[in-house]
Structure 1
Amino acid sequence: MAGSEDVFDAIVMADERFHGQGYREGFEDGSSLGVREGRRHGAAQGARIGAEIGCYRGFALAWRHLLRGCAAEDRKRRVLESLIGLLQQFPYDDPAYERLQEDLDRIRGKFRQLCSLLSVQPDFKVPGEGSGLSF
């Protein structure tokens, strides 16, 4: 009788054992997939932000060169230098930077201010959606 109870216990407990084993395997597979998907998404977002910052930097450096000899353009140059300063302080190599979004919003605002002073209408498009910054 004792042997038959062990067999029945094994059968009854099999469902619970297989459920637990399935859960663990599913959790491990899901975690692995989540990490891969997170890295892919992070790389895509990083590339998008990098392209945007790169366009701002190129724009600012080109205008710095263009405004170099103009004495009457002091306000434009001050805003331009402020934008360049923000771009230089941006943490390019720290993906865990806590104020990334705030700094990026500050850069975008300074860029819009500069475009307004320069009477330029930018049309920034993310790579893949368009061709970049155009005027």
Structure 2
Amino acid sequence: MARSQDMFDAIVMAEERFHGEGYREGYEEGSSMGVVEGRRYGTLHGAKIGSEIGCYRGFALVWKCLLHRCPAEKDSKKVKVLDSLLGMIQKFPYDDPTYDKLHEDLDRIRGKFKQLCSLLNVQPDFKIPAEGSVLSF
């Protein structure tokens, strides 16, 4: 009688057992896929931010060289804003993706870049297409 009781228990409990096994397998699969997808997403957006910051830095360094050649511009507001932008870029936390003020600092850099463009009377058109960044004037 005990053996027939075990068979019936196995049949009755099969649905619950299979449900639990399916849940565990799905959870493991989803977790590993989530890690892969998260890495891909982080790499893509990190590259976009790095490209944008790199364009700002290159822009600022070129203008710094140009402005230092003009004796009248050495102490101007343009140079001060330019130095401020370069300082903000220098302090940007490239190596810390968990930095809680990353987006706030990035917005400040964008604002300082716009201020500099306004002072220089330059109209930037910054776009990030799929194949890379483009900064045109």
The TM-score bracket by the shorter chain reads over 0.9
**Residue equivalent to 1:67:** 67
**Residue equivalent to 1:14:** 14
Instruction: Show structure 2 runs of 5+ residues with no match.
Output: none
**Residue equivalent to 1:50:** 50
2:87 aligns with one of 65, 79, 85: 85
Matched-pair contact (CA < 8 Å) for 2:64–2:79: yes
Deviation at 1:71, TM superposition (A): 3.4
Q: What SS does structure 2 have at the residue aligned with 1:72?
A: helix
1:94 aligns with one of 86, 93, 96: 96
Deviates more, 1:112-121 or 1:62-71: 62-71
- Aligned pair in 2 of structure 1 residues 45, 120: CA closer, same or farther (>3 Å)? same
The normalised TM-score by structure 2 is: 0.94
Matched-pair contact (CA < 8 Å) for 2:124–2:136: yes
CA distance in structure 1 between the partners assigned to 2:17 and 2:60 by the alignment: 64
The normalised TM-score by structure 1 is: 0.95
Q: What SS does structure 2 have at the residue aligned with 1:67?
A: helix
CA distance in structure 2 between the partners assigned to 1:3 and 1:42 by the alignment: 56
Deviation at 1:2, TM superposition (A): 2.5
Instruction: Show structure 1 runs of 5+ residues with no match.
Output: none
Q: What SS does structure 1 have at the residue aligned with 2:71?
A: coil
Deviation at 1:130, TM superposition (A): 6.6
CA distance in structure 1 between the partners assigned to 2:78 and 2:41 by the alignment: 37
Identity %: 71
